A = this chain, B = another copy of it.
Amino acid sequence: MKKHNYSAGPCILPQEVFQKSAAAILDFNGSGLSILEISHRSKDFIAVMEQARALALDLLGLTGKGYQALFLHGGASLEFLMTPYNLMTKAGKAAYLETGTWAAGAIKEAKAFGETVVVASSKDQNFSYIPKDYTVPTDADYFHCTSNNTIFGTQMKTFPNTGIPMVCDMSSDIFSRQMDFSKFDLIYAGAQKNMGPAGVTLVVVKESILGKTGRQIPNMLNLQQHIEKESMYNTPPVFAVYTSLLTLQWLKNLGGIAAIEQINNAKAELLYNEIDRNPLFKGTAVNEDRSVMNATFVLADESHAPVFDEMWKAAGISGLTGHRSVGGYRASMYNALPLESVQVLVDVMREFEQKVSG
């Protein structure tokens, strides 16, 4: 039976990416060698890295605007640390918006480096909304925010104009919606949502903001080092970079972010309409801040959970269980999840209603 994979990450990637990456493990580019056994200094892999870096900038509309794209080790969690290392001056401070668990993680790492101002937090309401009224101190070295909160199903629809460098963790919604990415000076994203397998992180940085902290930065954490070494300061995660390239090429062929945004909006609309219509369900995030990527919802009556759980599992749906911080359900609708999978879920929700109300 076909699986409808709602996993929050690692998550579904395009089927053609699975086919091509599996084929490359058996024979990469007709070389007679596996993608897993070639040197990262080989001509073929250097081409992969260069294409991936260029295509990431292209899709974000940042080509020729002073940005560099890097594919690094460590996950977004290492960027929590690299951000203050690379951007917070020795006597300086940073401003953070706290919109969820990962934002809180970034704040925790920054605090070890210097004054870290939390400009606003939605912790008081279990991160079910995005704070709107806050002031970013103009003397901070940077402002850090999280564009989409995977666990709580909220998403920033607008971003403040701060006048200081803007840093954004876009792990769970990069490449999913159009925006003016040149508003940001540093963007990072773990690959394992819209870009590729777990094990590589995309970092997009405006070169002009670097080299200003006065800190001695360890080589592996130094963005200038990574830029100088063309994203190969050490052996890169070859397979994860290659599979990310395949995914970015799939997106480019589809029509880029403009095209996928329409599909993503259609999926989210279909599901949220059902959550709002169906009396057996309640959304957990404030309506205006609902995420197009991760829809979080609970049952109006939790005693029905065994019935609903059996029904969606029987329909081939997987990964729908909500994060323990919210409970209930979470439908992650990343780029590669087809509209038909959302229709299957909505159909199950309707059948469930008939069964329970019936």
CB closest chain-B residue, reference A25: B22
Q: Check B77 against A219 for contact (C-beta < 8 Å).
A: yes
List residues of chain B with CB within 8 A of the CB of A91.
none
List residues of chain B with CB within 8 A of the CB of A183.
none
**Which of A81, A221, A235 gathers most chain B CB within 10 Å?**
A235
CB closest chain-B residue, reference A77: B234
Q: Check B109 against A234 for contact (C-beta < 8 Å).
A: no
List residues of chain B with CB within 8 A of the CB of A199.
73, 199-200, 236-240
List residues of chain B with CB within 8 A of the CB of A18.
25-26, 34, 36-37
A200 and B80 CA atoms in complex are apart in Å by: 19
A109 and B225 CA atoms in complex are apart in Å by: 13
Q: Check A12 against B37 for contact (C-beta < 8 Å).
A: yes
**Which of A34, A37, A80 gathers most chain B CB within 10 Å?**
A37
A13-B34 in contact given A25-B25, A75-B235, A220-B80 (Cβ < 8 Å): yes
Q: Check B40 against A219 for contact (C-beta < 8 Å).
A: no
Segment 139-188 of A: residues with Cβ below 8 Å from B: none
Segment 198-243 of A: residues with Cβ below 8 Å from B: 198-200, 216, 218-221, 233-240, 243
**Copy total for this chain:** 2
Whether a CB of chain B sits under 8 angstroms from the CB of A278 is no
User: Chain A, interface size: which category?
Assistant: 35 or more
List residues of chain B with CB within 8 A of the CB of A108.
219
- With beta carbons under 8 angstroms apart, the residue of B10, B21, B235 that contacts A192 is B235
A319 and B105 CA atoms in complex are apart in Å by: 42
* Shortest CB distance A71–B (Å): 11
* Shortest CB distance A322–B (Å): 12
- With beta carbons under 8 angstroms apart, the residue of B26, B80, B197, B236 that contacts A239 is B197
A218 and B200 CA atoms in complex are apart in Å by: 20
Segment 34-51 of A: residues with Cβ below 8 Å from B: 34, 36-40
A316 and B7 CA atoms in complex are apart in Å by: 43
A38-B7 in contact given A77-B220, A192-B235, A238-B197 (Cβ < 8 Å): yes
List residues of chain B with CB within 8 A of the CB of A32.
1-3, 316
Whether a CB of chain B sits under 8 angstroms from the CB of A33 is yes
A10 and B41 CA atoms in complex are apart in Å by: 9
